[in-house]
Amino acid sequence: MVEFSLPERPHFSDELIDRCKRSGDYGAVAFEWYKHIGLLANRYANAARLSPAFRAVRPVHFAVLIGSLNRCSRLMLANLRLANEGKHGEASRILDRCIFETCTKVTWLCENTDSEPFERFLADGLKRDLEFGELIRGEIQKRKDGKALVIEERMLASIEHAITSAGLDERVVKETKKLPDMASLHQLTGHERLVYVAIERMGSHAVHGSWTDLRTNYLEVEDEEFVLRDNDVPMDVNQFVAVSTFVLDALEAFITFMCEAKAPAEALLEPICSARRGILDFFDSAVGDDFEPA
């Protein structure tokens, strides 16, 4: 069995739940569920590759998975720090999109047992490193003495280390197929187009600073004039829940991929399923009549 402790499932007093119902504000409950799921991601990321519960996988492939889960956990922690002040919702939406993309890639990687998806994941990022390295070498060659600057040598060494640590070389990186685009990844992991548009396309507003983002988070109207909005954008309950469910999907995919035996798989999936039931039960109460006919 994988040996690590799991965080305790959150419990809420009747008084808190009554207060949420009266006010319609379930932010405190959402915050605790989000924290719990972020901690779950951290604990699963700390699972040992050589555990007898896990099947054998290449170390670098396992590193991709646990590194991705650690990324999700840490970005969730950053969002909690922002949300704890009741503001910075505009910044949290940028982090949300990063978490969504990482979760989608983890789920896709875990959907089959061959190594090609992992090679494509590794090479996809390294292609950019190679391009940067080629541009640096081009700048060096332009000089009469052909000598590199100290910073250039350092950057080239860093690029080389990134490639070798992935167990690849420049030829393999160049020849490996690109990753599917995010629309395709969402489709391949069982999501409808609506989910992709809601998560990725709408999430791009926050990343790129489109008019929709400016109008929502950075501007407001006073006396028919646009003025700057104060730093008072909270995280929305939907953010807490959407991010949490994607992280739970990634955790479930990770355990299903790693555990060949039924008993350890069921034991490790139960905390994930329990968290999913808990956050969705709370969400049913929080949304009120949002999903009733208008």
Query: The tokens 């499932």 sit on which residue?
Result: 9
pLDDT for the residue numbered 197? 96
Q: Are 248 and 272 in contact (CB under 8 A)?
A: yes
User: Between the CA atoms of 142, 145, 151 and 154, what dihedral angle is there, to the nearest 10 degrees?
Assistant: 100
- Nearest CA to 278 out of 253, 235, 251, 248 is that of 248
Query: The tokens 């400016």 sit on which residue?
Result: 214
Backbone angles phi, psi at 256, to 5 degrees: -60, -40
Could you tell me the pTM of the whole model?
Answer: 0.93
- Nearest CA to 56 out of 113, 11, 14 is that of 113
Q: Are 75 and 67 in contact (CB under 8 A)?
A: no
**Model confidence band, residue 1 (pLDDT cutoffs 50, 70, 90):** very low
Q: What is the mean pLDDT of the chain?
A: 93
For the segment 206-235, what is each residue's pLDDT rounded down to a tens digit?
999 999 999 999 999 999 999 999 999 999
What's the average model confidence in pLDDT over 244-257? 97
Domain boundaries, the chain: 22-111+234-288, 113-180
- Nearest CA to 33 out of 287, 234, 203, 271 is that of 271
